[in-house]
Amino acid sequence: MSKRIHMILLTLVSLVIVISCAKKGSITGGPKDETPPVFIKAMPPNFSTNFDKKEIRIYFDEYVKLKDPQKQIIVSPPMDPKPTITPLGGASKYIKIKFLDTLLENTTYSINFGESVVDNNEENPNPFFRYVFSTGDFLDSLSIKGTVGDAIQKKADSYITIALYEIDENYSDSLVYKTVPRYITNTLDSLAFSLHNLKEGKFKLIALKDISNNYTYEPKQDKIGFYEEIISLPEDTAKVFNLNIFKEVLDFKALNPKQVSKNKFIFPYEGEIDSMKIKLLSEAPDTFETRIFPDKDKDTLHYWFRPFFEADSLVFEVTNTKKYRDTVLTRFKDQYKDSLVVSSDIGATLPLNEDFVFTANTALDSINEQLISLTDKDTLEVPFSIKLDTAKNEAKLAFEKAESNAYTLQFLPNAIRDFTGNVNDTIKINFRTKKLTDYGTIFLTLEKVEAYPILVQVTNEQEEVISEKIVNSQETLVFDYLDPSKYYIRIVFDRNNNGKWDSGNFLKGIQPEEIRYFEEPIDVRANWEIKQTFTLD
C-alpha cells in the first residue's frame, strides 16, 4: 500500500470517529431562562408629580412584550379614549404609553400592568408592575383591600373589576350604569384585590363581572356586588372588604312573540315570570282555545291555540301581576303543523325513588291508559297510574319499582293525543332500575342554625342541585339514592320563606340571600352510609 493511500485511509477513519463522537451528544442552549424582565428606568420617572407629558417610556433590561394586555392592564382613573400602549404583537426593550385623553388636574393615576409584561423568549412575567404619577404636587397614598366571592357559586369568576365611585354632589347609585368610576382595579385570576394611590374622601365600593370591559354595569350580562356602607378614607383603610357578586333578576318585560308553527307561538320575556298571562285581543272564532306552559330551559312561554284561522297579524295583551301590562303585535300566517314526538329525560336508568316522567314537543291534551302497557323483565304486567299536568306539559307514570329490574313501556296508537289533534304511533321505551346497594346515603346533622327556614341542597361538582329539602326545625336529614360521586352541601338562608334562593338588587340596596357551603366535597360510594355534621357558626 502506498504512503498516499495509507494517509487517505487514516483521514477517513479520523472523520468517522469525529462524526460518531458528534452523534453521541448535542449542543444545548444552557439552562432555561426563568428570570423575569427587570425594570431599569422610566421617562418621566415612576412616581412623578406635576406630570404634564403626553407620553411615557418604561425601559427593561431585555426585550419584552405584552401578554393579554386587554385583560391585564388597568388604568385608574379610567380614560376615554384609552391610552395606546405598545408593543403589541412584537417585542421591544421599552413600553410606550401615549395619552389620547386630557389628564385630570391634581389627580394621581396608576397604570397596573398585572402580569402582562413578559420577556420575549420564555414569557417570564414581571409580576404586578405599576407606573404611578400625579398631575398635582403630591401622590395620593391611601389604599384598601378585600376579597371577592360569588353569592351562589362556590368560587367566584376570575377577572372581576373592582370600582370606587366618589361620593360628591353629583353621585347617585344610577351612575354605575352610565359613568366610569373614579378608581378601578381587577382581581385578575385571584379572589383578592387591592386599590392603591387613593385620595381622601368618601366612596361607594362596587364589584363587576364586566363582560364588555367598559367599566359600566349592564344588568343583562354583568354580575354585580356592592359594599352596603359608604367607605370613608383614611378611616377605613384598615378594613378588609368582602364582596359577593350576583346576577340581578331583571325587571319583567315581554319581548316580541314569534309564530313557530301553524298552531304555536313562543313568548320570550325577561325577569321573573310570576303570574304572566297572555290574552288575544284580535278577533278569533268562538271556539278559540289556548294552552300555555313554560319552557324548561329558556325564559319563554309556549302558546298553543286551536282552531287555526286566517289573519294577517295578531295583537296580544301581556300582563304580569298588577304592575305590568303591554300589547304586542306579531305576524300571522299558515305554516306547517307540528307532529307529535314523545320524549323523556330519564334515560336508560330510572332511580328507585322517582316516577317515570315523559313530555312532548307539542301540548299534551289527553292520555288513554287502556292503550298503555308496562311490563318487567319477565314480561309480567306491572300496575301503574298516569297523571297529566298540562301546566307543565308533562305526565308522570307511577308504579311500584323493583330493584335490579328491566321494564318496557309501550304506547299503542292513539294512546296520547295532543292539543291540535295529533296522536302517536306505536312507541316502546326500555329502561331499568339499579340495585339498592348501587346507591349511597348521606345522613346530615346541622348545628348552630340561627334561624329557620333554610334550604339544604346536595349539588354535584358542576353545582347542579341533585336533591333539596326545606328545613324548619332541628332534624337529621337523609339524602338517599345518590349515585356514587362527589357531592357538595349547600345551605340557603331563606329569609323571606319563599322556598328558593333570591338574588340581590343594587338600586334597592338588597344583598342576595346568604349561602353557605360545607368546605369539603363528600365522597359518596355505593352501599355506603355517610354521617356528616355541618356546623353553621
**CATH code for position 166:** 2.60.40
- pLDDT reported for residue 31: 66
Q: How crowded is residue 206: how many other Cβ atoms within 10 Å of its Cβ?
A: 24
Contact 45, 132 (CB under 8 A): no
* Domain stops at, among 134, 167, 187: 134
C-alpha cell at 354: 322517582
* Domain stops at, among 213, 245, 277: 245
Same domain, 401 and 430: yes
Same domain, 223 and 162: yes
Same domain, 356 and 416: yes
85: amino acid identity, one letter:
I
d(CA 108, CA 135): 7
- pLDDT reported for residue 6: 47
**CATH code for position 497:** 2.60.40.10
List Cα–Cα distances, 521 to 446, 460, 469, 518, in angstroms.
16, 9, 19, 7
- pLDDT reported for residue 30: 56
Same domain, 530 and 444: yes
Residue with cell 366618589: 166
The DSSP 8-state label assigned to residue 246 in this structure reads B
Same domain, 129 and 146: no
- pLDDT reported for residue 29: 53
Same domain, 170 and 240: yes
- pLDDT reported for residue 416: 98
Please report whether residue 337 resides in a domain: no
Q: How crowded is residue 356: how many other Cβ atoms within 10 Å of its Cβ?
A: 20
Cβ neighbors of 508 (< 8 A, separation 6 or more) are none
Same domain, 151 and 114: no
- pLDDT reported for residue 213: 87
Same domain, 450 and 418: no
Give 392-450 pLDDT, tens digit per residue. Answer: 999 999 999 999 999 999 999 999 999 999 999 999 999 999 999 999 999 999 999 99
Pick from 319, 174, 330, 176: nearest CA to 252: 319
List Cα–Cα distances, 83 to 44, 100, 101, 257, in angstroms.
16, 6, 7, 44
What is the bridge-based pairing of β-strands 440-447 and 529-535?
A: parallel
Please report whether residue 26 resides in a domain: no
Please report whether residue 122 resides in a domain: yes
- pLDDT reported for residue 88: 84
Residues in the chain with pLDDT values less than 50: 1-27
Same domain, 126 and 156: no
Q: In what order do the strands lie in the sheet with 313-320?
A: 277-280, 313-320, 324-331
Same domain, 517 and 443: yes
- pLDDT reported for residue 71: 86
Domain count, the chain: 5
Same domain, 522 and 454: yes
The helix/strand/coil state of 52 is coil
- pLDDT reported for residue 8: 45
Residue 90: give the domain boundaries.
Answer: 39-134
Please report whether residue 336 resides in a domain: no
**CATH code for position 387:** 2.60.40.1220
* Domain stops at, among 212, 245, 278: 245
Please report whether residue 11 resides in a domain: no
Same domain, 467 and 517: yes
- pLDDT reported for residue 104: 93
Cβ neighbors of 413 (< 8 A, separation 6 or more) are 371, 423, 424, 425, 426
Please report whether residue 21 resides in a domain: no
Please report whether residue 267 resides in a domain: yes
Please report whether residue 2 resides in a domain: no
Instruction: Please report how many Cα atoms fall inside a 13 Å half-sphere around the Cα of residue 144, on the Cβ side.
Output: 29
